Amino acid sequence: MSPMAAAMLSSHPNLMPNGTAAAATAGSTRLLLLLRSHGHPQAVRSIHRLDPSDPFPGTLGTSRVDWKASCAFLSSKAAAGPDSSSDKPLSPSGDPPAADREPDDDGKGGNHRLSAAINGVRMAAAAGALDLVPISNLPRPLTIADLSPAPMHGSRLRVAYQGVPGAYSEAAAGKAYPNCEAIPCDQFEVAFQAVELWIADRAVLPVENSLGGSIHRNYDLLLRHRLHIVGEVQMPVHHCLLALPGVRKEYLTRVMSHPQALAQCELTLTRLGLNVTREAFDDTAGAAEHVANNGLRDTAAIASARAAELYGLQVLADGIQDDSSNVTRFVMLAREPIIPRTDRPFKTSIVFAHDREGTSVLFKVLSAFAFRDISLTKIESRPHRHRPIRLVDDANVGTAKHFEYMFYVDFEASMADTRAQNALAEIQEFTSFLRVLGSYPMDMTPWGAPSSSASSSTNPPPPPPSSSAPPSS
């Protein structure tokens, strides 16, 4: 199409200056459509040859920048009005004066129609028909910043926890990430998935309590999911006995809370002289919410003081945990691990398994740490989910069944420490499975008061009930 449009223009040098036609050939598709719309559909029989004096040599093979410059030159010529090769004005119809018209080649006014078409193109260019796309409006290329999400997805970090507002896990999330957006989840599994699916940025979940021991469910989930431990936080647990306003302790027939909270307050409930039924609930704050929403005037809940404020309950007894040193350890989980360092105390959590019989492998693992003077802070065993039972032949008693175990170990060293690297390299030689769950800073804060809204966890337990109280069961 480009040679055709160029031939149309080059065959009439009086209408357009030499070289301008060549400049227009780069946009020949649009120009040819305009020519056809003015009644000149005939094919061109000649090919335009570039003139050495052409101001735009080689336009047919130039770049987009040269083409745009050529079109700008064409538009400036069209906007000038009369043809630059003639000082005579155009007629009102847009055609050249009759004296300047060349005779028709075919005797039917073909050249006259071509002249009118070309002049129409020139006027259309002056009116903006041959508009150019501004460079500023062209789409810019993607950069790495366009493909990377915002680090915090906004001004606040989103942290998932198990429970409802007022739970101890919510307080732990606030301690780990101040001013975060806490996202409650009804199950531990949901909190893991919230981080994996980018609904939350972090998760804060309990793994052990100083009185109740390990939360085995979360140890199993740590192995099932691919999240990384990036920190830990330890929270003193301060239990309160909550009930609806106006309810007295002697009216109670039932106490509900999380099973561990009930176990942690068993002795104190007995000392208070409460002849009540213990009922397990999903979490402590959920029990307080259940009592408030259902108006249960014969039921109390064991939860935090913050839960009493949120759900409009009164505190019948404060600090009812049997042991004042009741602390729960939480871990912070993220999709990516952090870079371990050696300028502050670090802790590393691993899990391993072995397919050999006997206790020699476990002894070798412990020896790898003891030889390098690395302190172990925890060791936990859990049945292997995929191989829970191992059959062992015994000629004396027949077939015995033994569990296959996974071992969780926490030790005080950073993965940036050469001692830890050498220890894991040695352990990997005689274990069938080894995975680092995370290497993260240790929580070195003292076990003080959990929050300003609750009393200190070091308060002594309440005094024994008066003689007017009913005897304990």
Q: Give the rounded distance of the alpha carbon of 92 from its chain centre.
A: 67
- DSSP bridge partners of 234: 329
Task: Specify whether the CB–CB gap between 253 and 303 falls below 8 A.
Answer: no
DSSP three-state, residue 400: strand
E strands, 412-450, in order: 433-441
Give the active site residue among 56, 192, 281, 330: 330
* Concatenated DSSP letters of 137-202: GSPPPP-HHHHSPPSSSSSS-EEEEES-TT-HHHHHHHHHSTT-EEEEESSHHHHHHHHHTTS-SE
How far is it, in rounded angstroms, from Cα 72 to Cα 171? Answer: 68
- Rg of the chain over all Cα atoms, to the nearest angstrom: 42
The CA-atom distances, in angstroms, between 11 and each of 8, 32, 49, 53, 433 are 6, 15, 11, 17, 83
Phi, psi angle pair for 412, to nearest 5°: -90, 85
Residue 442: name the closest of 360, 375, 348, 379 by CA. 348
The CA-atom distances, in angstroms, between 132 and each of 3, 27, 70, 124 are 22, 11, 11, 13
Residue 60: name the closest of 26, 108, 18, 21 by CA. 26
Task: Specify whether the CB–CB gap between 163 and 283 falls below 8 A.
Answer: yes
Active site residue 348: no
Active site residue 330: yes
DSSP three-state, residue 221: helix
- DSSP bridge partners of 213: 209
Give the active site residue among 328, 352, 369, 431: 328
How far is it, in rounded angstroms, from Cα 188 to Cα 190? Answer: 5
Q: Give the rounded distance of the alpha carbon of 380 from its chain centre.
A: 31
How far is it, in rounded angstroms, from Cα 229 to Cα 232? Answer: 8
Q: So which residues are the catalytic ones? A: 328, 330
